Amino acid sequence: MSGSADLESLSRMLAGADRVVAFTGAGISTESGIPDFRSPGGIWTRYDPRDFIFDRYVAEPEVRANSWAMRRAFFAANARPNAAHRALARLEAVGPLATIITQNIDGLHQEAGSQHVIEIHGTAREVACIGVHPVGGAPDGCGFVAPHTWAFEQLDAGVDDPGCPDCGGLVKSATISFGQQMPLDAVRRAQAEVAACDLLLVVGSSLQVYPAAALPGEARRYGAQVVIVNDEPTDLDDLAHLVVRGRAGEVLAAAVAGIDSDAPG
């Protein structure tokens, strides 16, 4: 873990900021037992990545069955928020944190108590109608949305391929698959938040995929400070005003505790 000087710098920058936006990736949830998709033992070693391509999900019942099996395994692991999620929820409660933009689909920020969360890759905690035969990676659903448990109940009741009760279309986890269009509304809101912040706090993202990779540069262009907290180097460390190397839970808990103790009243 980084030295205490880095932690003090981080704590000071957070306390001095008017509007912090956090951007979080898989690294913030590994301490909750959710493996990074790219890591050894990660999900790709147990499931076929081709099953997560949108057009295949639409075309093949077997792909949909595998996808539901994967979702069951995901929730059976019963991941809970960790110290990093709790520290960001606390940072929102005490003031400076305006919004969390996350690449994660696990819903752990909300479970930790965060109120303002933009999920640019969707959420595994809901399922949604994607229409009878969506083309071009674009969901074309009727608007039906339900908790993920709705699909599990259907499967438990012997329905092999749960369909939309409203229009008969396909139902899919409300996550963004490979080959599926990004949710434009969420991405636009994320970009607007980055443009309006004075400190972008990147946690647990390798910053290798777009739009994530573009956010630190955009934050700087709008005059914000950039801090990267990650347990290994990222491609964009040179862009950051401060890089704190370490486990997200330890770093954020320590940095936010420093703010708490300074808070008035």
Asked if 21 and 212 touch (Cβ cutoff 8 Å), the reply is: no
Tell me whether residue 142 or residue 214 sits nearer to Zn ion (CB atom): 142
Is position 167 an interface residue for Zn ion (rule: CB under 5 A)?
yes
Those residues whose C-beta lies under 8 Å from the C-beta of residue 5, and which sit 6 or more positions away, are: none
Enumerate residues 68-97 that contact Zn ion by CB under 5 A.
Answer: none
Is position 134 an interface residue for Zn ion (rule: CB under 5 A)?
no
Asked if 250 and 263 touch (Cβ cutoff 8 Å), the reply is: no
Is position 164 an interface residue for Zn ion (rule: CB under 5 A)?
yes
Kindly indicate which of the ranges 68-76, 138-146, 188-196, 243-251 contains the residues binding Zn ion, using the contact rule CB under 5 A: 138-146
Kindly indicate which of the ranges 19-27, 44-52, 57-65, 141-149 contains the residues binding Zn ion, using the contact rule CB under 5 A: 141-149
Is position 132 an interface residue for Zn ion (rule: CB under 5 A)?
no
Tell me whether residue 86 or residue 172 sits nearer to Zn ion (CB atom): 172
Q: How far apart are CA 184 and CA 106, in angstroms?
A: 20
Is position 166 an interface residue for Zn ion (rule: CB under 5 A)?
yes
Tell me whether residue 160 or residue 166 sits nearer to Zn ion (CB atom): 166
Taking the CA of residue 24 as centre, how many other CA atoms within 13 Å lie in the half-sphere pointing to its CB?
30
Is position 58 an interface residue for Zn ion (rule: CB under 5 A)?
no
First to last CA, the chain: 31
Asked if 101 and 185 touch (Cβ cutoff 8 Å), the reply is: no
- Closest approach, Cβ 189 to Zn ion, in A, equals 25
- Closest approach, Cβ 181 to Zn ion, in A, equals 18
Is position 122 an interface residue for Zn ion (rule: CB under 5 A)?
no
Going by C-alpha positions, the residue among 181, 245, 217, 225 that lies closest to residue 1 is 245
Tell me whether residue 49 or residue 168 sits nearer to Zn ion (CB atom): 168
Rg (CA), the chain: 19
Residue tagged active-site, from 85, 109, 121, 148: 121
Count of residues in contact with Zn ion, rule CB under 5 A: 7
Among 96, 162, 169, 183, binds Zn ion (CB under 5 A): 169
Kindly indicate which of the ranges 42-50, 78-86, 160-168, 230-238 contains the residues binding Zn ion, using the contact rule CB under 5 A: 160-168
Is position 127 an interface residue for Zn ion (rule: CB under 5 A)?
no
Kindly indicate which of the ranges 34-42, 153-161, 166-174, 176-184 contains the residues binding Zn ion, using the contact rule CB under 5 A: 166-174
Catalytic-residue membership of 121: yes
Is position 150 an interface residue for Zn ion (rule: CB under 5 A)?
no
The set of catalytic residues is 121
Binding site for Zn ion (CB under 5 A): 129, 142, 144, 164, 166-167, 169
